[in-house]
Amino acid sequence: MKALKNIFGNFKRYSFLMNQLIMRDFKVKYKRSVLGVLWSILNPILMMTVMAIVFSQMFKFKVDGVNYLVYLMTGLIMFNYFSEASNLAMTSVVSNFSLINKIYIPKYIFPVAKCIFVGINFVLTLIPWFAIILLSYIGLGQYACPITFSYIFLPFIFFCFFLFTIGIGLFLSCISVFLRDMFYIYGIILTIWNYVTPVFYSLEILPTSYQAIFKLNPMYQFITSVRSIVLFGERPSFLTLGILFLISLCVFGIGAFTFKKKQDQFIYYV
């Protein structure tokens, strides 16, 4: 109980710093760009347009019975969040070594701040995402997306997804201190992970024997749960939601534990 109180006290004390670090990232990101934060919304729209044209027109990809545009965009924004946040979180500790070496700051602040920063961006991308869903609802494209009460489960899924990403980010940022090769290794892992996750294709095009293995991928589970809500208006089963929560809690726990265990040694690897 006391440890918990300590953690929250610590969190409160450094929340202003967290705030400043996140604001810094925003300011630096959009410094001197004319459209500024608008890019957070424009970028996914443009990206998605390109992807949609490439996959649906050139490669003739489609997923039977659903609105492919929404299908694609859901996968895209979620995977993009994950890859950007985990990548930035991974480099955050090493790139702030000059600070860590001089002043006492709880080190978890850096990866967590990055995950929140990208998270805010993610929330902004939900605006064009929802706009597309609305358009399909009123009749754009072949299949309409129902908007139902199951939407109330979206925040819960996103919360788990966020927790999962922080866990991975903490773990990677810790490992990369001792093993700088991780920066490059993870780049490759992410590419593989991207193709293994059905972002622009459907698992049904694969042989059944493979499908079971692919379903073990947590990213698949996250994306599929969100898709089942927005594409079919179906609430994922409570079992699925429970599993998602457990997975994210475990990953977060492992990440936080590793980080806590190893953080005092960071200073020797500056």
Binding-site ranges for other proteins (CB under 8 A) = 13, 16-17, 19-21, 24, 27-28, 31, 98-105, 175, 178-179, 181, 264, 267-269
- Cβ proximity to other proteins, 64 vs 264, nearer residue: 264
| Minimum distance, C-beta of residue 117 to other proteins, in the bound complex (Å) | 14
Q: Which is nearer to other proteins, 114 or 227 (CB)?
A: 114
CB closer to other proteins, 137 vs 257:
257
C-alpha gyration radius of the chain: 20
Q: Are 245 and 160 in contact (CB under 8 A)?
A: yes
C-beta of residue 89 within 8 angstroms of C-beta of residue 111: yes
Which 8-state DSSP code applies to residue 233? Answer: -
Cα angle for residues 22, 27, 32 (degrees, 5° grid): 160
Cβ of residue 32: shortest distance to other proteins, in angstroms? 9
Token digits for 88? 């930035």
Residues 56, 43: Cα–Cα separation, whole Å: 19
Distances 33 to 6, 23, 57, 248 between C-alpha atoms, Å = 41, 16, 32, 36
Using the minimum distance from each CB to other proteins, give the nearer residue, 89 or 100: 100
Q: In the bound complex, what is the minimum distance in angstroms from residue 15's beta carbon to other proteins? A: 10
- In the complex, minimum distance from the CB of residue 183 to other proteins, in angstroms, rounded to a whole number: 13
For residues 158-175, b (16+ Cβ closer than 10 Å) or e, as one string?
bebbbbbbbbbbbbbbbb
- Is the Cβ of residue 13 or residue 215 nearer to other proteins in the bound state? 13
Q: Residue 31, by phi and psi: left (phi above 0), alpha (psi -120 to 50) or beta?
A: beta
Helices (H) and strands (E) in the chain, counts: 11, 0
Neighbours of 56 (CB within 10 A): 16
Nearest distance in Å: CB 29, other proteins: 10
C-beta of 57 vs 98, nearer to other proteins: 98
Nearest CB to other proteins, comparing residues 25 and 84: 25
What residue has token string 């594409």? 231
Nearest-CA neighbor of 37 among 125, 133, 136, 102?
125
Q: CB of 24: closest distance to other proteins in angstroms?
A: 6
Length of the chain, in residues: 270
Query: What's the min distance (Å) between Cβ of 33 and other proteins?
Result: 12
